[in-house]
Chain A
Amino acid sequence: MKIKSYKNQIKLLILAALFLLIFWTSICPCYVLSKEMTEEEAGQKLQESIDEQLNSMDFWELEQLINSMDENQKKIFGGSSFLDRIRQLLDGKYKSNNIFSAIFFLLIGDITLFLPLLATIIGISVLCSILSNLQFNSSNKGVSNVIYFACYGVVILSVSVSVFYLITLTKTAVQSMQNQINLIFPILLGVLTAIGGTTSVAVYQPMVSVLSVVITQLMVNIILPLFIFGYVFNIIGNLSSTLKLNKFSAFTSSLSKWFIGIVFTVFTAFLSIQGITASVHDGVSIRTAKFAISHYIPIIGGYLSDGFNLIMAGSVLIKNAVGVAGLFLLASTVLAPVIKIAIMMLTLKLTAAILEPLAPQGFSDFVSGAAKSISMLIAIILSVAFMYFIMLLLVVCTGNFIWG
């Protein structure tokens, strides 16, 4: 009897142990998962990753560039240091309330800059017409011709001083844009490579070189001289009523317009098509490749893949912040010259309109021809700025792949 109850006890014990085992395993089914990250730990890790990556980037020359800008441009940029602006953008602050006041002050400043020019031209032309009507011997046309040439010379001088000032403005704007491209794109392409978008980088690198070297050389060495020719022929053509060179000015301006148009269209088409297909290819290949490490590491799981995601997210955030900061820098470089040139153009057109009834024909034709050819300068600045803008936009919009 005792042996039987002993066997029963053992059976009971075994049954109880089985029950407990089933009970335990159904309550805590965590066998292979390793340590997961909490939310605040994730946020802290993201911030650390971003700080570490920002430390590896070299912003010194960009800071020099910003230091050399004046007050209004700094207001448009939104700060006085590139790194500060990046940190602001990373926090999500897009300060835009200062931009409109800066533009307004630029407008007012330029209008007051060009009003003396307006007054000078009108005063001299009126003087010329009064003098030539007051001649003592009406059959001698020589005196009135000489008066005409003298006044015309002064008007040419005053307009040309402003026009050449605008030419140097254009040249410095285009060269500053070239400088910015050379400084910002190594950073952007580096972050894009670190994320894993190697096809996109292989597409963007030659296009950026073409933009930075070829196109700016074209603009500064070919189109700007074409503008100067057109302007000079405009001057000569209005010197006397017998020698007309209007068609020459029209030829140079239409040649420049065609040139800029073709270069712009070809560049933008190539860039957009290649850039978009490359980014799609990269998105697909990264989703299939999973890690930058050469083979898949199976067991470690949650902590590792979360951590990789955080590093990748930090890189993408930095890339976007640098891109947008570059956009703001571009805006601050381009807005000031364009506004100046536009105000000058409007002033000259106004002058021509006022001069038409008052002064001899040549003055009005010269001033309105100068106004028409100045629009070429705006075309130069805006086409280079737009191509740079499209490149920045493409780099910011591609490479936003975060797998999770």
Chain B
Amino acid sequence: MISKWIMGVVGAAVLCLLVDLIMPEGSTKKHIRSIMAIITLFIILSPLPSLLNQNWEIDNIFGSNNIKPDNRIVDNVHTQQITLLEESLENKLSEDGYNDSKVIISAYSKENVIKIKAVSVDLSLCGVTASDYEKVKQKVQIYLDDNNILVVVYG
């Protein structure tokens, strides 16, 4: 559409030049020159009515929004943070005397905030009796300061 317009203008200009070249001097030349000027003007202005009558759709101009943050990176960082929390819980429990405990935290992240669902503590390498399970469970609940988290102690 645009290149056709350009070709039209170029063609009109070349025709004007031909007229200039071929015609001998005289009043005929002047008349034809003015007519060619008016024709060139019309050709230059020809696409304007079709441009003005179109309905501009804004949605077509603003394409699709496809740049989103990469969620794998966010998930990776959250995984690292949860691993860190598990390690620090294990350290705290070993300070309390339960060495070699293994803590596994299951959590989900929603809108960039981690919510802990459940904690499972594996005391099989500690050599403790079943009566300690209640104590460990209460300790973990005190450390995490949230009574809604499900704590499972086994071993």
The answer to whether B74 touches A213, judged by C-beta atoms less than 8 angstroms apart, is: no
- Within 8 Å of chain B (Cβ to Cβ): is A205? yes
The answer to whether B88 touches A53, judged by C-beta atoms less than 8 angstroms apart, is: no
Tell me which residues across on chain B come within 8 A of A67, comparing CB atoms: none
Using an 8 Å CB-CB cutoff, how does the interface string of B49-90 with A read, 1 for contact, 0 for none? 000000000000111111111111111111011001101110
Write the nearest CB–CB distance from B86 to chain A, whole angstroms: 10
- Within 8 Å of chain B (Cβ to Cβ): is A254? no
The answer to whether A298 touches B145, judged by C-beta atoms less than 8 angstroms apart, is: yes
Write the nearest CB–CB distance from A285 to chain B, whole angstroms: 11
Write the nearest CB–CB distance from B12 to chain A, whole angstroms: 9
A211 to B89, CA, bound (A): 46
A193 to B75, CA, bound (A): 10
The answer to whether A52 touches B76, judged by C-beta atoms less than 8 angstroms apart, is: yes
Using an 8 Å CB-CB cutoff, how does the interface string of A184-201 with B read, 1 for contact, 0 for none? 011101111110101001
The answer to whether B10 touches A193, judged by C-beta atoms less than 8 angstroms apart, is: no
A236-B9 contact in complex given A206-B65, A213-B64, A243-B17, C-beta closer than 8 Å: yes
The answer to whether A212 touches B80, judged by C-beta atoms less than 8 angstroms apart, is: no
A292 to B84, CA, bound (A): 13
Using an 8 Å CB-CB cutoff, how does the interface string of A44-63 with B read, 1 for contact, 0 for none? 00000100110111100000
Write the nearest CB–CB distance from B29 to chain A, whole angstroms: 11
The answer to whether A308 touches B116, judged by C-beta atoms less than 8 angstroms apart, is: no
A55 to B73, CA, bound (A): 9
15 A-B pairs (CB sep. < 8 Å): A53-B80, A56-B72, A194-B74, A205-B67, A212-B67, A213-B63, A214-B61, A292-B109, A293-B113, A293-B116, A294-B116, A296-B145, A300-B88, A300-B143, A307-B87
The answer to whether A295 touches B143, judged by C-beta atoms less than 8 angstroms apart, is: no
A64 to B17, CA, bound (A): 52
The answer to whether B73 touches A194, judged by C-beta atoms less than 8 angstroms apart, is: yes
A323 to B81, CA, bound (A): 24
A304-B84 contact in complex given A56-B73, A292-B78, C-beta closer than 8 Å: yes
- Within 8 Å of chain A (Cβ to Cβ): is B20? yes
- Within 8 Å of chain B (Cβ to Cβ): is A272? no
- Within 8 Å of chain B (Cβ to Cβ): is A336? no
A209 to B69, CA, bound (A): 12
A239-B62 contact in complex given A56-B72, A293-B116, A294-B114, C-beta closer than 8 Å: no
Tell me which residues across on chain B come within 8 A of A158, comparing CB atoms: none
The answer to whether A190 touches B70, judged by C-beta atoms less than 8 angstroms apart, is: yes
| Other 9 A-B pairs with CB < 8 A, given A239-B17, A294-B116 | A181-B67, A182-B66, A196-B112, A213-B62, A232-B9, A292-B81, A292-B114, A293-B85, A304-B88
- Tally A-B pairs: CB < 8 A: 155
A303 to B87, CA, bound (A): 9
A216 to B121, CA, bound (A): 55
A367 to B132, CA, bound (A): 92
Nearest 5 interchain pairs by C-beta? A190-B70, A190-B73, A189-B69, A194-B77, A56-B76
- Within 8 Å of chain B (Cβ to Cβ): is A242? yes
The answer to whether B78 touches A304, judged by C-beta atoms less than 8 angstroms apart, is: no
- Within 8 Å of chain B (Cβ to Cβ): is A240? yes
The answer to whether A34 touches B88, judged by C-beta atoms less than 8 angstroms apart, is: yes
The answer to whether A297 touches B143, judged by C-beta atoms less than 8 angstroms apart, is: yes
A49 to B17, CA, bound (A): 74
Tell me which residues across on chain B come within 8 A of A187, comparing CB atoms: 70, 73
A233 to B89, CA, bound (A): 76
Tell me which residues across on chain A come within 8 A of B69, comparing CB atoms: 186, 189-190, 192-193, 201, 205
Tell me which residues across on chain B come within 8 A of A55, comparing CB atoms: 76
Tell me which residues across on chain B come within 8 A of A2, comparing CB atoms: none
Tell me which residues across on chain B come within 8 A of A35, comparing CB atoms: 91, 95
The answer to whether B115 touches A217, judged by C-beta atoms less than 8 angstroms apart, is: no
The answer to whether A292 touches B116, judged by C-beta atoms less than 8 angstroms apart, is: no
Our pick among A186, A233, A240 for the contact of B67 (Cβ within 8 Å) is: A186
Tell me which residues across on chain B come within 8 A of A210, comparing CB atoms: 62
- Within 8 Å of chain A (Cβ to Cβ): is B104? no
Tell me which residues across on chain A come within 8 A of B114, comparing CB atoms: 292-294
A57-B89 contact in complex given A229-B6, A240-B20, A292-B78, C-beta closer than 8 Å: no
Give the interface centre of B81, B85, B109 by most chain A CB atoms within 10 Å: B81
A189-B63 contact in complex given A300-B89, A300-B143, C-beta closer than 8 Å: no
Our pick among B9, B10, B77, B142 for the contact of A311 (Cβ within 8 Å) is: B77
The answer to whether A294 touches B115, judged by C-beta atoms less than 8 angstroms apart, is: yes
- Within 8 Å of chain A (Cβ to Cβ): is B48? no
- Within 8 Å of chain A (Cβ to Cβ): is B144? yes
A108 to B89, CA, bound (A): 64
- Within 8 Å of chain B (Cβ to Cβ): is A398? no
The answer to whether A194 touches B78, judged by C-beta atoms less than 8 angstroms apart, is: yes
The answer to whether A214 touches B70, judged by C-beta atoms less than 8 angstroms apart, is: no
